[in-house]
Structure 1
Amino acid sequence: MSEYDVIVIGSGPGGYVCAIRCAQLGLKTAIVEGRETLGGTCLNVGCIPSKALLHASHMYHEATHNFTKMGLMGKSPSVDFKTMQEYKSGVIAQNTSGVEFLMKKNKIDWLKGWGKITAKGEVTVGKDVHKAKNIVIASGSEPSSLPGIEIDEKVVVTSTGALELPKVPKSMVVIGAGVIGLEMGSVYARLGCDVTVVEFLDHITPGMDAEIAKTLQRTLKKQGLNFVLGAAVQSVDAKKTKATVNYKLRKDETDASIDADVVLVATGRKPFMDNLGFDGLGGELTERGQIKTDDQWRTNVDGIFAIGDVIEGPMLAHKAEDEGMAVAEVIAGKHGHVNYGVIPGVIYTTPEVASVGKTQEELKDEGVDFKVGKFTFMGNGRAKAVFQGEGFVKLLVDAKTDRILGCHLIGPSAGDLIHEICVAMEFGASAQDVAMTCHAHPTFSEAMREAALACGDGAIHA
């Protein structure tokens, strides 16, 4: 029987980051993982492999659509999907082996197998029982589906199956116009697949700034994605090589259907807690089936904490990482803090979409007096040079104090640009603070400064 200060269940971004910080703070730490490799969903079947395929398919799109515009002549490349999948697998291997190296470097024991909390301060992995003063649940999430839809990961797939398809299908229906559906739909549309996105709501990307959502939909439609909005999926009839998606249009109750080679069910994710044992100890859950915690990530069971996708909040890897570091600080007797008002969100389509803070719709609902500073990437020389001038930056600031309340943008490298505003918001900066900061030329980041200038006397290049 091994004894630890901390046992972390789950080795995704929240779990492995938590384990590393615990070890750095002098705590004897172990991490439990049942997969053959560390890294959780994110590194194995989520963030990392999807970004590899997004990058590869974007390069193919550039070669077939934009190379000749830049004087790069020659035969257009063809898609060897098997090689593309091997490239993706190589990227996964580099990242998962990197996490394993970090475990060894920080002297963290990897308890291989699926962990179950069998008593307070006790985690059983296989036949081995391990004691811990503190247990951190970081078991992540799994894809959720709709009633009556059977997933076989061949014809009817989740994001996991969509990453492992043996070939590019001729047609695909994506159920759900959220982040996962749009990213994976983009991959296959670029590679020549006829993609149709079916969404229950009358708009894509629920919760996003409405103007950004409309612009993204218009851009993706130009790239070949089709959209059926306001459609309630009733069932999916799957055969060996085809499937039929049956849906009802909400506006007039009309029944309709669409056939496809592959159906991707991208209707969100749910906490993964199979055989975890938390409920057997009287652990409290929220109405949505998440583990209930206090503001220090403690559950109602003494000595057990929870972070990441199993608790409330956005299911984002970086949110889990922040919580992982913070809970380690708490366990070590220090102060752990996560600013939930400054957690960025990114969609890795092309163009990228990024946001942080409040949306216009939220500020209106809250009765906040605010100003909008907007700048289009058509006024940014660098963006026009890479054929991505269609997007824009929208900065939302308090009308009285000029303090930044939120930022939303669609355009090149949006996922990187957003962090300038994240830092500004963390320090309580104003739009003027950003506007007075020199930005290198020519860069995409100049658009951020221009949007800040637009909150005052006006943008220069508008």
Structure 2
Amino acid sequence: MKDISCKLLVIGAGPGGYVCAIRAGQLGIDTVVIEAGKPGGTCLNVGCIPSKALIHAAEEYEKAQHWAPTSSPLGISVQSPSLDLGKTIAWKDSIVNRLNSGVAALLKKGKVKYVQGWAKFRDGKTVEVETETGTQVIRAENVVIATGSAPVELPFLPFGGKVISSTEALALNEVPQRLAVVGGGYIGLELGTALAKMGSKVTVVEALPRVLVQYDSELTRPVLKRLGDLGVEVLVGAKAKGLSSKDEALLIETGDGKDRKIAADRILVTVGRKPVTEGWGLEEIDLDMSGRFLRIDDQCRTSMRGIYAIGDVTGEPMLAHRAMAQGEMVAEIVAGHKRSWDKRAIPAICFTDPELVTAGLSPEEAKKLGGEIKVGQFPFTANGRAMTRQAEDGFVRIVARADNHLVIGIQAVGQGVSELSAAFGLALEMGARLEDVAATIHAHPTQGEAFQEAALKALGRALHI
């Protein structure tokens, strides 16, 4: 097989990798991208996109179930709703396939050469790829490592049989009657909530004192209330220990030190993700590490000249949009542009019910930096659009410096607040002050008005509360 030479080689076609390759193609850079699976990586195929499809289907089914016994306050009644999970999964797969095709078409449009197979470094400029037709050798002036992450497996609960990762949870052929979720982070609660709405009896086991520890307790309170309404049992300070002798139950140690069995048809383990740093020849190039992750600077450069790394393999926050931003930037750096980045304005979203959004610093984080702060919070109970959507649980909160009113953090919890994340990120990126947000005319009636009202509240002049 004839060797390939290029200016830019991207290893991994997940969100970071394919965006990097597409942008490089737009800039006229001779680019090759290697992917062992399908275009789009974890996010598109077994992560962000399919999970949101499942979450949406669960929401629709739960609404129908809620309305079935009697007519809703809206005057809607439904007779005997049922769920065909096979059709739901097929619909989810059709969306994934459309997006796979879209990514492939964009790579082709950018004149990016796509190589299917597993890549392994020979040295810092040479990679060999095991393809279906043999070994392909690729030499590149610049290399981008975008190998992503994988679910963490517990040694006493290895994946297989009834113990599943998020990947298998997104391809179930039937709704488990009883589901145990090990790990109370965003992945476990997103999927646990969806399956609870579809009819599972869900128990969440979290070793830490509370679930969703990356969010403050005030922000997560509406989520916990909703979990209770759905009949989800949340056990905090509890440790999973393994399977019972007949594999019919999960063995745990409760917060008060007692042993307990949780009967479960499926056990979903979501205790985090780990960077994919093995199997692609890291030992051949000897890059500096930062803990488990590849160490990078503010231009995503590793410790070796001409080798960049982006996305989950470089550490937290493990977010697809972070990887995309890094990928776009690296392509432009290779093209000779002056670029750098920081993560202060990156929104993070948890698609629970209700949804959570954070961008920048929480009040607690801001206080730790020293100096006085102003905090404004506006509840959706005082928002007309939230009332008309039956979405009154939650609020928008804004954090700013007291001396110059510079906005340094924004948080929200509520139905559909993920769509406010762009406004939150933009406000931080543009260096907005409370007066800027308060003076921006927000369309009425929308939930976005709560953002403006939160800024007004911080300034001491809220209009609707």
TM-score by length of 2: 0.95
Structure 1 equivalent of residue 149 of structure 2: 141
1:424 aligns with 2:402: no
Q: Return the match for 2:329 from 316, 326, 331.
A: 326
Give the Cα–Cα distance (whole angstroms) in 2 for the partners of residues 403 and 301 of structure 1.
Answer: 38
Q: How does 1:104-183 map to 2 (within 5 A)?
A: 104-126=108-130, 127-152=135-160, 154-183=161-190
Look up the SS of the partner of 2:252 in the other structure.
strand
Amino acid at match of 2:96: I
Structure 2 equivalent of residue 96 of structure 1: 100
Look up the SS of the partner of 1:442 in the other structure.
coil
Structure 2 equivalent of residue 45 of structure 1: 46
Please identify, of 98-107 and 226-235, the stretch whose mean Cα deviation from structure 2 is larger: 226-235
Asked if structure 2 preserves the Cα contact closer than 8 Å seen for 1:373 and 1:452, the reply is: yes
Asked if structure 1 preserves the Cα contact closer than 8 Å seen for 2:298 and 2:342, the reply is: no
Alpha-carbon deviation of 1:184? 0.3
Give the Cα–Cα distance (whole angstroms) in 2 for the partners of residues 243 and 336 of structure 1.
Answer: 54
Structure 1 equivalent of residue 64 of structure 2: 63
Alpha-carbon deviation of 1:421? 2.0
1:188-219 superposed Cα distances (whole Å, 9 cap, x missing partner): 00001001111111111122122102232122
1:90-110 superposed Cα distances (whole Å, 9 cap, x missing partner): 011011111011111111111
% identical equivalent positions: 40
Alpha-carbon deviation of 1:367? 2.5
Give the Cα–Cα distance (whole angstroms) in 1 for the partners of residues 397 and 259 of structure 2.
Answer: 39
Q: How many residues align?
A: 456
Q: How does 1:192-211 map to 2 (within 5 A)?
A: 192-211=199-218
Structure 2 equivalent of residue 13 of structure 1: 15
Q: Return the match for 1:454 from 447, 452, 457.
A: 457
Alpha-carbon deviation of 1:223? 2.3
Structure 2 equivalent of residue 347 of structure 1: 350
Look up the SS of the partner of 2:294 in the other structure.
coil
Structure 2 equivalent of residue 186 of structure 1: 193
Amino acid at match of 1:29: T
Alpha-carbon deviation of 1:256? 2.2
Asked if structure 2 preserves the Cα contact closer than 8 Å seen for 1:326 and 1:335, the reply is: no
Structure 2 equivalent of residue 390 of structure 1: 393
Q: Return the match for 1:293 from 293, 296, 306.
A: 296
Alpha-carbon deviation of 1:363? 1.9
Shift in CA distance, 269/89, structure 1 to aligned 2, threshold 3 Å: same
Look up the SS of the partner of 1:68 in the other structure.
coil
Please identify, of 212-221 and 176-185, the stretch whose mean Cα deviation from structure 2 is larger: 212-221
**Structure 1: segments with no counterpart, 5+ residues:** none
Alpha-carbon deviation of 1:147? 3.0
Alpha-carbon deviation of 1:238? 7.5
Give the Cα–Cα distance (whole angstroms) in 2 for the partners of residues 393 and 410 of structure 1.
Answer: 7
1:29 aligns with 2:31: yes
1:401-442 superposed Cα distances (whole Å, 9 cap, x missing partner): 111111111112211112212111111111121111111111
Give the Cα–Cα distance (whole angstroms) in 1 for the partners of residues 88 and 330 of structure 2.
Answer: 38
Please identify, of 131-140 and 355-364, the stretch whose mean Cα deviation from structure 2 is larger: 355-364
Give the Cα–Cα distance (whole angstroms) in 2 for the partners of residues 118 and 279 of structure 1.
Answer: 10
Look up the SS of the partner of 1:441 in the other structure.
coil
TM-score by length of 1: 0.96
Over the aligned positions, Cα root-mean-square deviation in angstroms equals: 1.4
1:211-235 superposed Cα distances (whole Å, 9 cap, x missing partner): 1022321222212221000112222
Asked if structure 2 preserves the Cα contact closer than 8 Å seen for 1:371 and 1:455, the reply is: yes
Give the Cα–Cα distance (whole angstroms) in 2 for the partners of residues 372 and 443 of structure 1.
Answer: 22
Asked if structure 1 preserves the Cα contact closer than 8 Å seen for 2:223 and 2:353, the reply is: no
Give the Cα–Cα distance (whole angstroms) in 2 for the partners of residues 102 and 161 of structure 1.
Answer: 29
Give the Cα–Cα distance (whole angstroms) in 1 for the partners of residues 7 and 296 of structure 2.
Answer: 20
Asked if structure 1 preserves the Cα contact closer than 8 Å seen for 2:298 and 2:341, the reply is: no
Look up the SS of the partner of 2:250 in the other structure.
strand
Give the Cα–Cα distance (whole angstroms) in 2 for the partners of residues 420 and 76 of structure 1.
Answer: 40
Give the Cα–Cα distance (whole angstroms) in 2 for the partners of residues 165 and 238 of structure 1.
Answer: 25
**Structure 2: segments with no counterpart, 5+ residues:** none
Give the Cα–Cα distance (whole angstroms) in 2 for the partners of residues 336 and 92 of structure 1.
Answer: 32
Q: Return the match for 2:438 from 425, 435, 438.
A: 435
Structure 2 equivalent of residue 79 of structure 1: 83
